[in-house]
Amino acid sequence: MKKLRMTFLNSEGKKHNLDPILAATNLTEPTVRTAMEGLRDLELFEKDDVQLYAEVKGAKYVETIETPLFED
């Protein structure tokens, strides 16, 4: 399984990841960067007076491998 992980810095400079549930697996850097900058500019996400997505840090695809042990 391949998923997108977007990393931001919050307003305190700490990393904060966002993993969208649905994302294409062939997105380009300009497309993802533009989306992340748009999300940052909305300034909608805050917790305890800390802006969660204050600065765009990076993005990557993360792949997981599933190995079934059994299935009923």
Q: Each residue of 22-38: pLDDT tens digit? A: 889 999 999 999 999 99
Do the domain assignments include residue 35? Answer: yes
Do the domain assignments include residue 29? Answer: yes
Do the domain assignments include residue 71? Answer: no
Distance of CA 28 to the CA centre of its chain: 14
Contact 9, 52 (CB under 8 A): no
- The whole-number pLDDT of residue 5 equals 96
Do the domain assignments include residue 40? Answer: yes
Do the domain assignments include residue 15? Answer: yes
Range of the domain at 36: 2-63
Token couple for 64: 């997981």
Do the domain assignments include residue 25? Answer: yes
Do the domain assignments include residue 72? Answer: no
Number of domains in the chain: 1
- The whole-number pLDDT of residue 72 equals 85
pTM reported for the whole predicted model: 0.84
- The whole-number pLDDT of residue 1 equals 84
- The whole-number pLDDT of residue 46 equals 92
- The whole-number pLDDT of residue 59 equals 97
Strands (E), 1-72: 2-9, 15-18, 46-47, 50-51, 55-63
**Residue 56: pLDDT over 90:** yes
